[in-house]
Amino acid sequence: MPEVIVDTGGWRWLAVDSAAALLVAAACGYAAVESGAGGGHLALALVVGLPVAARRIWPLPMAGAALAAGLLALDLGAISTVATPAPYAAVAATQYLVGARSGSRVSVVAIVLSVVAAVLVSGRTPGSAVLVAALVCGPWAAGRYLRHRRDRARRASAELAEQAVAEDRLRIARDMHDVIAHNLSLIAVKSSVARHVAAIRPQESQDALAVIETTSREALTELRRVLGLLRAGADTMAPAGTEDDLRDLAERARQAGVEIAVVLRRPDLPPDGVRRTVYRIVQEALTNVVRHAGPTRCRLVVAAEPAGVTVEVCDEGPAGAPPAAAVPGAGHGLRGMRERVAAYHGSLVTEARAGGGFRVAARLPYPAVGEDGRP
């Protein structure tokens, strides 16, 4: 809904209001002359239109002045009945801005007093009382309605802005979690291995330290890339999710002691956004295998079809006592996976397996043409 704005300044609107004030004054003055009114009544008739010129500067005082001058002129007979609409036009113009600009309590009090005064002075019959009340109250109600629409549009705009900021923060948090948690989990596992076997198997310890060095460099490189994209305002932080990217994730898990079997069926078929989401799901699932299952057997399946892609990561659980200390987590990874899958209206299953281990299975349909399902 477009925002309705009441312009409260500017020479253009001042000129419009001044012209309207002159028209009302001219109509009232002509009616006073035609009725043979004296100089005092003529001056009063001319004053009726003047508040319209300043209604945007002082809405409430000008509304009171227009109502008082108009009712007084009508009551004293300074304006003939032929020109009766003229003073009410001035009242309508000023009451509209009272409704549109004044606070709720002040506005309501002002309109109640105005209606009571108008009815007492001009409402000599029930019919005329209703007509006078409608002429005074109608423009005020229109102003209140437009003010309500304007305020509602502002609130909606502010809510949309807050929602966009929240979504952006969530996206950044997910990507930072994916970048850091995966690499730090591998580093934590390998550092624990190196500490345990340093004295009895120095070569294995050296191999673990080499993995730590390589992983640390890769983590720094990826972190710099993410921060660079954040500065540039880019909205794509994950790797492209190609077959090589997925095999690289599997190799990192293998370096952490996971015996992994990889089955990839046309992983490059899905659209770019879906491939990146698949990459993040696989990354988080393998990170959890390394973190919670330690050295174990695992199976990774990514199968792309014409309508969607299926991802499955199954592990067999810890194979005895793992050499690495447990790596703590806050549970943000699974929640991030759910949010990414939900962005594409897909499905996600995370469950413990009956024979031991854990299973993560996701199904992502391809977004329709023109639909932005990007997480």
pLDDT tens, position by position, 175-187: 666 666 666 667 7
In a shared domain, residues 118 and 193:
no
Burial group, residue 244, by CB count within 10 angstroms (0-12, 13-18, 19+): exposed
Q: What is the pLDDT of residue 178?
A: 66
In a shared domain, residues 229 and 309:
yes
In a shared domain, residues 326 and 274:
yes
Q: Phi then psi for 353, rounded to 5 degrees? A: -85, 150
In a shared domain, residues 206 and 315:
yes
User: Residue 344 is encoded by which pair of tokens?
Assistant: 């594409």
Q: Using alpha carbons only, what angle is made at residue 123 by residues 121 and 129, rounded to the nearest 5 degrees?
A: 140
CATH assignment at residue 188: 3.30.565.10
User: Is the residue at 227 inside a domain?
Assistant: yes
pLDDT beyond 80 at 37: no
In a shared domain, residues 338 and 201:
yes
Question: Which band of pLDDT confidence, cut at 50, 70 and 90, is reported for residue 322?
Answer: very low
Q: Using alpha carbons only, what angle is made at residue 165 by residues 163 and 171, rounded to the nearest 5 degrees?
A: 100
Q: Using alpha carbons only, what angle is made at residue 265 by residues 344 and 277, rounded to the nearest 5 degrees?
A: 25
Query: How far apart, in whole angstroms, are the C-alpha atoms of residue 37 and residue 28?
Result: 11
Instruction: Select the more confidently predicted residue: 362 or 72.
Output: 362
Continuous segment of H or E residues that includes residue 347:
strand 347-352
How many structural domains are present in the chain? 2
User: Is the residue at 193 inside a domain?
Assistant: yes
Range of the domain at 85: 11-122
User: Residue 280 is encoded by which pair of tokens?
Assistant: 């993040």
Distances (CA, A) of 191 to 79, 137, 283, 286, 359: 98, 79, 20, 18, 27
Q: Is the pTM of this model over 0.75?
A: no
Give 305-319 as a DSSP string.
-SSEEEEEEEE----
In a shared domain, residues 105 and 169:
no
User: Is the residue at 128 inside a domain?
Assistant: no
In a shared domain, residues 201 and 89:
no
> How much of the chain exceeds pLDDT 70, in percent?
69
In a shared domain, residues 165 and 116:
no
Query: How far apart, in whole angstroms, are the C-alpha atoms of residue 186 and residue 204?
Result: 15
Task: Identify the domain boundary among 95, 122, 149.
Answer: 122
Q: Phi then psi for 364, rounded to 5 degrees? A: -120, 110
Question: Which band of pLDDT confidence, cut at 50, 70 and 90, is reported for residue 113?
Answer: confident
In a shared domain, residues 255 and 106:
no
Pairing state between β 347-352 and 297-304: unpaired
pLDDT tens, position by position, 324-368: 444 444 455 788 788 889 888 899 999 988 878 899 999 999 886
In a shared domain, residues 75 and 183:
no
Sheet holding 308-315, edge to edge: 259-265, 297-304, 308-315, 358-365, 347-352
pLDDT tens, position by position, 240-292: 788 999 998 898 888 878 899 999 998 888 888 889 889 989 988 988 888 77
